[in-house]
Amino acid sequence: MAILYADPFDTLLNFQQALDAFRSSGWLGASPSGRGAYPPLNVFRQGDDLLVVAEIPGTSKSDLQIQVKGNTLRIAGTKSVHYGEKASLHRRERSTGSFDRAITLPVEIDADRVKAEYHDGVLALSLPRAERDKPRSISIA
Amino acid sequence: MAKSQALEVQEKKEVVSQGEQTVPARHYIPLTDIYETEDALTVVMEIPGVEKENVTVALENGILRIDCRLDFSKYGGLEPLYTEYNVGHFARSFSLSNKIDQQQINAQLDDGVLTLTLKKAKEAAPRQIVIN
């Protein structure tokens, strides 16, 4: 699906427009979702492997649970906000609660080599494609 | 039951500014909670993906302005396949009353959450007048 040309991200606006263009991508399709659509995910391709990025500010590693089986990925956890006891709230926009989302990817993943990182509120999952799922190149005799 | 409330997705809102931004990219408004305790006003903003060095907090003429830049170099070499949210710089400003001590603002960034503690100005201490 290489509609992106060399160095498409040289300006920020191009990158943002590229992200917008893939909003209606049917790549993921319908999938069983544990509960709701939080957190919103972006899926990127990095060579043969997938990179799933989600923004979940305000949780900690211990509050997140990530599971992979076959081609299903599950991200669950809780996001909490603490106010302190004698606080009077002027404005409240942040949400708190628990989330549990399962998505079915169209490619199979090697569960043993999945790497997850959580920095600055961004969860990045590097999902390598399973060896047996990779296509075989056929050479023409 | 109250504990396990499912989170809903909040779409990012774009900044609507008076003049155009110099860089034609989208800026987003970070979700903010503001609460007041006895001695301080606390502003908590969600700015995922932003590192400490890229946050500017400025207080001028009673307007608190927060500008955060996202480092896009980590998105280089990635091809989007499916997206549900967009990314961009964050900006938001608030006007503060003069009850805030402008010299003492404490800022902390943890896990994409920026917490600004603005201490309230102490009222002038009452003077004791000694009678000769």
pLDDT tens across A54-64, in order? 999 989 899 99
Gap from A133 CA to chain B (nearest CA, Å): 18
- Per-position pLDDT tens, chain A of length 141: 344 444 555 677 888 888 888 887 777 766 655 556 788 889 999 888 899 999 999 898 999 999 998 888 899 999 988 887 778 888 889 888 888 888 888 888 888 999 999 999 999 999 998 888 777 889 998
Q: Is B52 part of a structural domain of the chain?
A: yes
Give the pLDDT confidence score for residue B127 in this predicted structure: 63
Gap from A49 CA to chain B (nearest CA, Å): 10
Average pLDDT over residues B77-103: 86
Here the CATH number for the domain that contains residue B78 is 2.60.40.790
Q: Is A38 part of a structural domain of the chain?
A: yes
DSSP string of A91-119, one letter each residue: EE----EEEEEEEE-SS-B-GGG-EEEEE
Q: Classify the complex by whether its ipTM is higher than 0.85, answering yes or no.
A: no
Here the CATH number for the domain that contains residue A65 is 2.60.40.790
**Chain A residue with the nearest C-alpha to that of B52:** A120
Q: Is A47 part of a structural domain of the chain?
A: yes
> Do A51 and B91 contact (CB within 8 A), yes or no?
no
Q: Is B99 part of a structural domain of the chain?
A: yes
Q: How many structural domains are present in chain A?
A: 1
Q: Which residues of B touch A42 (CB under 8 A)?
A: 80, 82-85, 87
Q: Report the alpha-carbon distance of residue A127 to residue B93 in Å, rounded.
A: 39
Q: Which domain holds residue A123?
A: 26-81+96-133
B/e letters for A36-58, b = 16+ CB within 10 Å, e = fewer, are eebbbbbbbbeeebbbbbbbbbb
Q: Report the alpha-carbon distance of residue A43 to residue A52 in Å, rounded.
A: 5
Q: Report the alpha-carbon distance of residue B108 to residue B113 in Å, rounded.
A: 8
Q: Is B108 part of a structural domain of the chain?
A: yes
Q: Which domain holds residue B18?
A: 13-120
Q: How many structural domains are present in chain B?
A: 1
Written as six digits, the tokens of A68 are 């992979």
Q: Is A91 part of a structural domain of the chain?
A: no
**CA nearest to A94, candidates B101, B107, B82, B115:** B115
Q: Is A87 part of a structural domain of the chain?
A: no
Give the pLDDT confidence score for residue A18 in this predicted structure: 85
Regarding beta strands A122-127 and A115-119, do their DSSP bridges make them parallel or antiparallel, or are they unpaired?
A: antiparallel
Number of neighbouring beta carbons within 10 Å of residue A64: 18
Q: Is A21 part of a structural domain of the chain?
A: no
Q: Is B24 part of a structural domain of the chain?
A: yes
Q: Is B61 part of a structural domain of the chain?
A: yes
Surface-to-core class of residue B51, CB atoms within 10 Å of its CB (0-12 exposed, 13-18 middle, 19+ buried): middle
Q: Is A11 part of a structural domain of the chain?
A: no
Q: Is B130 part of a structural domain of the chain?
A: no
Contact B2/A at CB under 8 A:
no
Tens-digit pLDDT profile for residues A81-91 = 888 777 888 88
Whether the full predicted model's pTM is greater than 0.90, yes or no, is no
Q: Report the alpha-carbon distance of residue A122 to residue A59 in Å, rounded.
A: 10
Q: Is B129 part of a structural domain of the chain?
A: no
